[in-house]
Structure 1
Amino acid sequence: MVPALAAALAAELLRRVDEERRLMRQARTASGPRWHPALARCREDGAEALATVVHRYGWPAADLVGLPASTAALMILLHAPCLDFQLKCRDLIADAAADGRCPALHHAYIADHCAVELGRPQYYGTRVDPATLRPYPVRRPRTLDERRRDVGLGPLDEQLRRLRAGG
């Protein structure tokens, strides 16, 4: 890919994530649900744009668009409304992580997201139920922290303590 095109893709992915964050802040501070349709539309538009990128160029891994933009692509994917698209990208991200083109952490997040959405136990414990602040069911919990360490995550207990403390 031409460097100028890669830079333009990176800028667009980052712009879309910034827009979603802005709408999320507004939704949190606004009274009533008036911002929710705008946020849903933003997520749908972001997913559609990401799908176009994936169709044309494959997963926008860090070696193609840089780590910040690849992480932005993951954020767009995690909020995308189509599980089939998420599953397709999960496999592309797994390949990119195995080849060292993006962090294994990216695969951990999308793998857990898809597992929870499919009603299956997650593997890395990255998804937490917002109502209980407890992780959704985890596969083989005795070896969870070892798997988390392998992808660059700290122990689950530390993550949960920070989450419950508000950070």
Structure 2
Amino acid sequence: MSPALASALAAELTRRADEDRELMRQAETIPPPDHRRRIAQCHRDNAEALATIVRRHGWPTAALVGAPASTAALMILLHAPDPGFRRDGRDLIAQAVAEGHCPAIHLAYITDHCAVDEGQPQLYGTRIDPKTLRPYPIRQPRDVDERRREVGLGPLQEQLEALGIRV
């Protein structure tokens, strides 16, 4: 891939992720039905754009588009409305991690997201239930901090405290 194309893809992914973050930031000022519709449309549009990028160029790894844009692609994937697309993306990220082209932390986030989608316990404790403000169920919770350390995440208790959650 040419540097110009990689730069254009990086800019597009980053722009889309920034738009998503801005819509989330505006949550308090936009009436709920309008807000939900705008966010849902943003997530659909972003997922469609990411799917096109993936079909044409493969997963946008840090090696391909740079770390910030690769992280933006992960955020877009996490918010994609299609669970099948998220699972496919998880598999592509797993391959990229195995090849050293993507940070393992990306795999941790999408793995937990897919597990929660499927009603399974998560591995890394990255997903918090917004109703209970506690992590969704975790597989083998006594070993969670070891798994988190292996992918570059800090201890779960530290993450919860940073979010203002007391367990």
TM-score, with structure 2 as normaliser: 0.95
Answer whether contact 2:78 2:113 (CA < 8 A) is retained: yes
Partner of 1:132: 132
Answer whether contact 1:133 1:163 (CA < 8 A) is retained: no
Partner of 1:96: 96
Q: d(CA) in 2 for partners of 1:156 and 1:165?
A: 11
Partner of 1:55: 55
Partner of 1:40: 40
1:141 shift after superposition: 1.1
| Cα RMSD after superposing both structures | 1.3
Q: Which runs of 5+ in 2 are unaligned?
A: none
List per-residue Cα deviations over 1:90-133 (Å, max 9, x = no partner).
01001111111110000000000000000001011100111111
1:31 shift after superposition: 3.6
Q: Which runs of 5+ in 1 are unaligned?
A: none
1:29 shift after superposition: 2.4
In the alignment, does 2:25 pair up with 1:25?
A: yes
List per-residue Cα deviations over 1:12-59 (Å, max 9, x = no partner).
000001111111122232244222211111110000000001111110
Give runs of ≥4 in structure 1 deviating > 6 Å. none
Q: Look up the equivalent residue of 2:9 and give its one-letter code.
A: L
- Classify the secondary structure of the residue corresponding to 1:164: coil
Answer whether contact 2:46 2:80 (CA < 8 A) is retained: yes
Q: d(CA) in 1 for partners of 2:2 and 2:32?
A: 45
Which stretch of the first structure deviates more once superposed, 44-53 or 20-29? Answer: 20-29
Q: d(CA) in 2 for partners of 1:165 and 1:116?
A: 19
Aligned residues: 166
Partner of 2:122: 122
Which stretch of the first structure deviates more once superposed, 84-93 or 155-164? Answer: 155-164
Q: d(CA) in 2 for partners of 1:35 and 1:8?
A: 29
